[in-house]
Amino acid sequence: MPINLNALGAETPWSEVTVAQDRIDALCSVLGDYNPLFLDPETAARSANRTVVAPPTFINCLRDFKTALVLSQTEVDLPLLLHGEQVIRYYKPVRPGDRVLHKIKVVEAGRKQSKTYGEVSYFTVLIKMKNHDNERLVEATQLFFVRDK
């Protein structure tokens, strides 16, 4: 089923979330990534970061309203959705306790030919994370494909 291409430009408002150590713990635990820079304040204090920081793919964990946006605006049939590509750019470290603002916007939507699945719909979302000083922390684009059947 094709997606709603009019979802292009749809965006969420900025939403605040406090980065919690237990969210970082959950991601590290499931990945089996026990790097103490993400987990242990004592080790992190001796590093250039000075404090614990979030691992590089933590932005994937700020998904609460993203799914709602994708579902409501692009009218995606979720079982037909495939993740294509993700690009993350880092500007400043994200630390537990930080109150960060994030938002998501559909920045690309269309139809294209896939080698594997034939003609598919695709859309790209831009996820932004900034602090209350309006400084960029992390930004990511995610490209998704949606098969017709």
Partner 1 sequence: MNDMSTFSELNYPQRLAVPAGASVPQPEEGPYFEDVTVGMALELTKPAITRLQIARFAGASGDFNPSHVDEDIARDIGGMGGVFAHGMIGMGFLGQLLTDFLWDRPLRMFSTRATLIVRPGDSLTCRARVTRKWVEDEDNLVEFEVEAVNQRNEVTHTGKAEAVLPHRPIAIKGELKRPYLVQHRVIG
Q: Return residues touching partner 1 (CB under 8 A).
A: 21-23, 25-37, 39-40, 43, 47-49, 55-57, 60-61, 63-64, 66-67, 77-90, 93, 147, 149
Judged by CB, which is closer to partner 1: 6, or 45?
Answer: 45
Residue 22 three-state SS? helix
| Smallest distance, partner 1 to C-beta of residue 61, A | 5
Judged by CB, which is closer to partner 1: 48, or 134?
Answer: 48
| Smallest distance, partner 1 to C-beta of residue 72, A | 15
The strand pairing partners of 130, in sequence order, are 101, 136
| Smallest distance, partner 1 to C-beta of residue 55, A | 6
Residue 96 three-state SS? coil
Intra-chain end-to-end CA distance of the chain, in Å: 6
| Smallest distance, partner 1 to C-beta of residue 40, A | 5
**Close Cβ partners of 52 (under 8 Å, ≥ 6 residues apart):** 21, 24, 37, 38, 39, 40, 41, 44, 95, 96
Judged by CB, which is closer to partner 1: 50, or 132?
Answer: 50
Judged by CB, which is closer to partner 1: 9, or 97?
Answer: 97
Tokens at 96, concatenated: 């537990």
Neighbours of 59 (CB within 10 A): 23
Judged by CB, which is closer to partner 1: 9, or 50?
Answer: 50
Which DSSP string corresponds to 34-82? --GGGT-HHHHHTSTTSS----TTGGGG--HHHHHHHHHHH---GGGEE
| Smallest distance, partner 1 to C-beta of residue 134, A | 20
